[in-house]
Structure formats: structure tokens, C-alpha cells
Homo-oligomer: A and B are copies of this chain.
Amino acid sequence: MVIRENFENNLKELKRKINEMGELSIDALEKAFNALKMRDVEIALKVIEEDNDIDNLEQEINQFAVWLMAKEQPVARDLRIVVVVLKISNNIERIADFAVNIAKSTIKIGQANSLLDLTDLEKMKDISILMLKKSLKSFLEEDIALAKEVGDLEDEVDDLNIETYKKLTGYLSEHPEETNQLVQLLFVNRYLERVADHITNIAESTAYIIKGQMFDFNP
């Protein structure tokens, strides 16, 4: 019983750290997008700098999870949770990397007049953050219904991604003088689509804990 209790306490701590990491990455995404919108290179640099904290937290979580596996030797569902924690921390780390990529695009765009209004990028960012909040909550509370909602929202991001691609390349072929910014916005469009993919992975991993099998919410 003591071992079981220890395991539960350690698991709570792991979940707390995953949530902390998730919140840092939500913050990074918001900041990076704001920097893009305001053409604020200072904020963009801050996002890049602060990514270290998220990377360190991932390392900490991984070491904790590996230590927990070695010490408590969990089986079945308990083992699944610890393995999934490794996957989720990796997905969050990659979401934060995309925030860094958006920050780098912001720096490359510099002070050019923003063409962001041509696109649905802000909407894609808003939906992604909603998805990330839902996927974290679904993991923390082991709520399968929330995990499924994440999959549905991803379809919206995919549609906006295709739409934005068309708008940006159409505009680009008529405004070659804006190549630099438009190419960067095309990259941001891609980054946000990938962010939504990784969030969906978190939801799928959560479903795996609950149901014991992998789901593909984005077939």
C-alpha cells in the first residue's frame, strides 16, 4: 500500500509538471503571435530566450518519469501513463519550438507593413490554444470526451490552413515585392498546422491511457 501511495503521489507530481509545461507553451504561443502582430522584435527575442525553461522542464519530466519506472516498476495502466507522459512532454516541447519558429519569422519580417490581415492565422492560433487547453484538461482529468473535441477542432485548423495557403500564394504571385514577408507567413501557416497536429497527438495519447489502445483523431 505504501508503494501504491508513493506511486500515486509521484504521478500527481508528474501531471503537475506536464500542466506547468503546457501553460508555459500556451504563453509562448500567445507571446509569439503577439510579437508577429505588433512586429515587436523584443518580444520575439524573449520567446526564443524563454524556450530554454520549457526544454529544461521537459528534461526534468523525462528524468522523473524514467526514475519512476525504475523505482516503482509500474505495470499495465500505470506503465501506460508514465510512457504517455514521455510522449506528451515531447509534444509540448515541439509546440513550444513552433512558437520559437514564429518568433524567428517575426524577426525576419522586421518592420514591413503587416500582411497578417490577409490570412486566417490569428483564428488558427486561437483555435490551437483552445485545443491545447482542452487536451491538457483531458489528460489531467482523463476525460475522453474532451479528447475527442480536440480532434474535431483540428479539422477547422486544417481547413483554415488550406484557405490561408491559397490566399498567400495568390497574393504573392501578384506582389513579388512582398516575397520576404509572404514566405514567412506561409511558414507560420505551416507551423500552426503542425502545432494543431501535436496537440491532437496529446489528445490521442490521453485516449490511449483511458482506453488502452491508440486512436487516430486525424485520419
Contacts and interface: CB of A to CB of B under 8 A. Distances in A.
Contacts of A186: 183, 186
A69 interface: yes
Nearest to A101: B190
B59 A83 contact: no
A75 B180 CA distance: 51
A113 interface: no
Given A66-B79, A79-B70, A186-B183, A214 B173 contact: no
A177 interface: yes
**Chain A interface main SS type:** helix
Copies in the complex: 2
Contacts of A187: 190
Interface string A174-206: 111101100100110010000000000000000
A6 interface: no
Interface of A: 59, 62, 66, 69-70, 73-75, 79-80, 83, 86, 90, 169, 172-177, 179-180, 183, 186-187, 190, 214
